[in-house]
Amino acid sequence: MAEQMGPSGLLDRLIRASVTDAEPETESASATESGAVSVSGRSMDSTSEASKTGAEKAEEKFMEIIHKIPLPIWAIVLIAIAIGLIILCCCFCCIRRWFRKRKQKKDKAAGKGGKSKQPVDMKSVQLLGNALKSEAEQAAANEATEEEVKEVVDLGKLQFSLDYDFQQGQLTVGIIQGADLPGMDMSGTSDPYVKVFLLPDKKKKYETKVHRKTLNPSFNESFVFKVPYTDIAGKILVMAIYDFDRFSRHDQIGEIKVPLNTVDLGRVIEEWRDLSPPAQDKDKDHLGDICFSLRYVPTAGKLTVVILEAKNLKKMDVGGLSDPYVKICLMQGGKRLKKKKTTIKKNTLNPYFNESFAFEVPFEQIQKVDVHIIVMDYDRMGGNEPIGRVVVGCSAASSELRHWSDMLASPRRPIAQWHTLQEVPDDKKKD
């Protein structure tokens, strides 16, 4: 059959055989190629798994932890934001505090640097104190002169008589007449009358008739007091002249006090006496007294105020007592620089404190500041009320200026002194 094939048939058979032989090679090649691809894929997978050692693993771990938390995603986000805000606030506070401390250090360094460059001369401090002391002495002298002038003011005089009956134990007081009384009304006249009573009991009071529009009234009235002889030495006769006013409180013109142990009751006494200023006018504004010490160290710029005690404070409570404490204010140019307080002492008019307070006052500033010592009455239900105050400093006067000058004239030494409390102005009564 091979013999019958021609050349063309033989050629066809050879081509088919070559094609058939080529197919297995192609399949094996493709198989080899696919195997190579699979091997390369496995190697790529292993390479990618090896590369997951950093951020991807951390992310997968984080997501795994989040999925385990029994909260929705939005709640977790809110919590994270809140934590972030807290951290930011803490950082802000720390930075702010750091800047504040830095500023304080700079301020102190500037102040101390000024002192170190120009050290405080102790002689200059003492000279300042002595200058203020002489000023205080001059002010005190002027004040004493004013007091003398006030005392010299003529309030008029009163003629009276005393007659004691030893058998009856009776004291007869005769109010005869007044002279040269001051004019208390707009017209320059007065409407005088006299109140007569005995101290200390004040059980019985007598009054004369009112004499209209006169400065030289003639009374000619007598009053009888039952006073046993054994008690007469302990009595004080008071004759007080008042100006009658129909529409307001009667004003006291003056008074005469006669201790009965100083007169000879064995005879009838008749005499003129000058009227003295009313006693209640001297005592009605008495708010109490306070004792405190001042100490100044110029080199350190330190002013120390020690509140020691107070006495005879004004009664502020219904029960006749007070709950006092003391406010110490460092002032400059009407502005309060610092304020400090003592503890509250309950139910007393004579509190003892012994509490110390320090203020930083450079020597350059000591002539510009004042210290306000204010005694307050504590009230739990209402507002705290001021009882009285004392102002010491270079702008003070009288004994307050003297105290300040003594402090400056004796650096480093505490100077203690008693002061009488003065009325607190209305604009300063807020606690």
pLDDT higher than threshold 80 for residue 36: no
Crossing angle, helix 122-152 and helix 398-409, to 10 degrees? Answer: 160
Distance CA 394, CA 128 (A): 10
Could you tell me if 200 and 187 are in contact, meaning their C-beta atoms sit under 8 angstroms apart?
no
pLDDT, residue 159, reads 96
pLDDT in tens, 6-21: 545 544 554 555 445 5
Per-residue confidence at 347, pLDDT binned at 50, 70, 90? very high
> Which letter, b or e, does each residue of 70-96 get, where b requires 16 or more Cβ atoms within 10 Å of its Cβ?
eeeeeeeeeeeeeeeeeeeeeeeeeee
Distance CA 164, CA 229 (A): 9
Q: Point out the least confidently predicted range of 145-154, 180-189, 234-243, 275-284.
A: 145-154
pTM above 0.85, yes or no: no
Mean pLDDT of 240-263: 87
Q: Point out the least confidently predicted range of 70-84, 263-277, 323-337, 381-395.
A: 70-84
Could you tell me if 303 and 392 are in contact, meaning their C-beta atoms sit under 8 angstroms apart?
no
pLDDT higher than threshold 60 for residue 408: yes
DSSP calls for 249-285:
PPEEEEEEEEEGGGS-TTS-EEEEEEPBPPHHHHHTT
Mean pLDDT of 383-400: 88
Could you tell me if 177 and 219 are in contact, meaning their C-beta atoms sit under 8 angstroms apart?
yes
pLDDT in tens, 63-118: 777 677 777 777 778 888 989 899 999 998 889 888 888 877 766 655 444 444 45
Distance CA 190, CA 182 (A): 7
pLDDT higher than threshold 90 for residue 33: no
Task: Find, among 409, 411, 382, 392, the residue nearest to 307 by Cα.
Answer: 392
All CATH 2.60.40.150 domain ranges in the chain, comma separated: 157-276, 289-428
pLDDT, residue 187, reads 81
pLDDT, residue 74, reads 78
Per-residue confidence at 188, pLDDT binned at 50, 70, 90? confident
- CATH T-level fold of 157-276: Immunoglobulin-like (2.60.40)
φ and ψ at residue 121, rounded to 5 degrees: -85, 120
pLDDT, residue 210, reads 94
Residue 43's alpha-carbon distances to 38, 47, 208, 393, 407, in angstroms, are 8, 6, 132, 93, 94
Question: Looking at domain 289-428, what is its CATH homologous superfamily?
Answer: C2 domain (2.60.40.150)
pLDDT in tens, 167-181: 999 999 999 999 999
Mean pLDDT of 268-289: 79
pLDDT in tens, 201-239: 777 889 999 999 999 999 999 999 999 988 888 899 999
- The contacts of residue 106 (CB under 8 Å, 6+ apart) are none
pLDDT in tens, 108-155: 655 444 444 456 656 666 666 666 666 666 666 666 555 555 555 688
Task: Find, among 260, 310, 299, the residue nearest to 418 by Cα.
Answer: 310
Mean pLDDT of the chain: 80
DSSP calls for 26-52:
HHHHHHHHHHHHHHHHHHHHHHHHHHT
pLDDT, residue 293, reads 96
Mean pLDDT of 287-295: 94
Q: Helices H, strands E: what count in the chain?
A: 7, 16
Task: Find, among 154, 148, 196, the residue nearest to 179 by Cα.
Answer: 154
